[in-house]
Amino acid sequence: MVDFSLTDTERDIRDWVRNFVQRELMPLEPEVLRRERAGQRGLTKDELLELQNKAKEAGFWGVQTPEEYGGMDLSAVMTALIEVELGRTYVPFRFGGYADNILYYANEEQKQRYLLPTIEGTRKSCFAITEPGAGSDAKNLRTTAVRDGDDWVINGEKTFITGGIDADFVMVFAVTDREKGANGGVTCFLVDREQGWKSEPIDIMGPDERQPAALVFDNVRVPAENVLGEVGNGFGLAMQWIGRGRYLLPARALGACERLVEMGSEYAQNRETFGAPIADRQAIQWMIADSAVEIEALRWLILQAAWQVDQGMDSRHAQSIAKLFGATHANQIVDRILQIHGGMGYTKELPVERWYRDLRLLRIFEGTDEIQRRTIARNVLKGHASISGVLG
Ligand SMILES: Cc1cc2nc3c(=O)[nH]c(=O)nc-3n(C[C@H](O)[C@H](O)[C@H](O)COP(=O)(O)OP(=O)(O)OC[C@H]3O[C@@H](n4cnc5c(N)ncnc54)[C@H](O)[C@@H]3O)c2cc1C
């Protein structure tokens, strides 16, 4: 039986987040826009923390964090539904109580120093694999870590590292055995800022809270106990980090698209040209119709990929499909809604241009459109995935 309905609990959780977004976040939108126009961050750290604490009082903390660490340990489907709701606003909010999935591979001592403070929000991490010469081709890493007595000495440069400006520590990937390369020759190190790496902000077209950094490692010396997991298994960890929830990125974009179409519909019904609302014109109706179809398709691609995660299936193919479809169609949808708004859509008075710039990133990070297509094509050509989907 195929059942597309939500359980009562799923609906209650979804509705709580929907109300939280409407009550606590949407009222902040004009101020977020105003600050961003003035070159400031939309929310200060203290404001974000205050909002996270409000949510925590209602039990919303550590959405996917295991219960033994005080989290909610919600399913992938539930988390996707929550992300959609959060995506309906551009106020840069996320629930507290989160830590990178690969930090759970830390040993007991590392857990105290890195995992627990990250969950508590007292320390910030960043994830650094990309280099100037190794983006999509992540196996082409040049950063090295060379053993010297009880230490490792790291040299190299990382680029586009989200959170790299504020992070207290980095999970950095370096080559420890050139011959083995990605098959046993890459290691992940936990490196505190005080151990000597430097960061430089990189200006981007998207909002400031996304601003990444270049990281420089110039003879940074770390003790051997800072290796995360095993020496040589770093590439596997990196792929796990990237694959931790590819369905979540398009889920947030889906929420944005829903809101954008609502805004576009309202505008089209109020804006009159040549004696009638533009919503009466087929040209505008088709933009709304195509967007509605793509939104509906995206919703089920995301939920189906999340469902596969919950079933413990190999969900990589479904996640790549959801990420690719979400990235390409969210960009088409925001472009149409900007077009419906005419000149107003192009101004900073409205948030449409902000979404336009922000959603563009989805086609690039955590696997570009082209890399998703490469993965999907390979799976189909080599028979790793059935073209008939999970129904076989
Ligand atoms: C805002 C932002 C935040 C980021 N955050 C992080 C982070 O936190 N940590 C981190 O490690 N990285 C991060 N990245 C890096 C991001 O993952 C890479 O930019 C991305 O993987 C693409 O790599 P690249 O920029 O080197 O492009 P390239 O790999 O050089 O690709 C250039 C173009 O060629 C295409 N291309 C490449 N190979 C192929 C192929 N085989 N077939 C067809 N087309 C191909 C690509 O799709 C792209 O269109 C971030 C990037 C940005 C912009």
Domains identified in the chain and CATH numbers: 8-98 (1.10.540.10), 123-236 (2.40.110.10), 246-391 (1.20.140.10)
Asked whether residue 244 carries a pLDDT value surpassing 90, the answer given is no
Strands 169-175 and 227-228 turn out to be unpaired
- Measure 374 CA to ligand 1 centroid, in angstroms: 14
For residue 24, the CA-to-ligand 1 centroid distance in Å is 35
Instruction: Tell me which residue has its CA closest to atom 32 in ligand 1.
Output: 136
Q: How far is the CA of 57 from the centre of ligand 1 (A)?
A: 39
- CA 274 to CA 296: how far, in whole Å? 32
**Ligand 1, atom nearest to 369 Cα:** 47
Which of 127, 130, 165 should be mutated for ligand 1, with most atoms under 8 A from CB? Answer: 130
**What is the structure's pLDDT at 392?**
80
Question: What pLDDT score was predicted for residue 331?
Answer: 98
Give me the mean pLDDT over the 368-379 stretch. Answer: 97
Contacts of 344 (CB under 8 A, 6+ apart): 267, 350
Percent of the chain exceeding pLDDT 70 equals: 100
Q: Which long-range contacts (CB under 8 A, 24 or more apart) does 288-291 make?
A: 288/261, 288/264, 288/340, 290/332, 290/336, 291/257, 291/260, 291/261, 291/264, 291/332, 291/333, 291/336, 291/337
With cut-offs at 50, 70 and 90, classify the pLDDT of residue 204: very high
The 10s digit of each residue's pLDDT in 320-369 is: 999 999 999 999 999 999 999 999 999 999 999 999 999 999 999 999 99
Band (390; pLDDT cuts 50, 70, 90): confident
Which residue's alpha carbon is nearest to atom 35 within ligand 1? Answer: 370
Q: How confident is the model at residue 167 (pLDDT cuts 50, 70, 90)?
A: very high
Angle at 135 between CA 169 and CA 243, to 5 degrees: 70
From the list 350, 357, 388, 380, the residue with the least C-alpha distance to 32 is 350
Which residues are known catalytic residues? 366
pLDDT at 245 over 90: no
Cα–Cα dist 325/338, whole Å: 20
In tens, the pLDDT along 277-329 reads 999 999 999 999 999 999 999 999 999 999 999 999 999 999 999 999 999 99
Any residues with CB less than 8 A from the CB of 119 and at least 6 apart, and which? 62, 65, 69, 70, 71, 97, 98, 99
Expressed in angstroms and rounded, the spacing between residue 7 Cα and the centre of ligand 1 is 38
Q: How far is the CA of 161 from the centre of ligand 1 (A)?
A: 11
Q: Reply yes or no on whether the pLDDT at 1 is more than 90.
A: no
- Within 211-305, strands assigned E span 212-223, 227-228, 272-273, 276-277
Whole-number pLDDT of residue 70:
94
Q: How confident is the model at residue 209 (pLDDT cuts 50, 70, 90)?
A: confident
Q: Which sign, positive or negative, has the C-alpha torsion 253, 256, 262, 265?
A: negative
Binding pocket residue ranges, ligand 1, CB within 6 Å: 127-130, 135-137, 160-162, 204, 210, 212, 361, 364-366, 368, 370-371, 374
> Mutate which of 368, 372, 378 to test ligand 1's pocket (most atoms within 8 Å of Cβ)?
368
Query: What's residue 290's pLDDT?
Result: 98
Mean pLDDT over each residue of the chain, to the nearest integer: 96
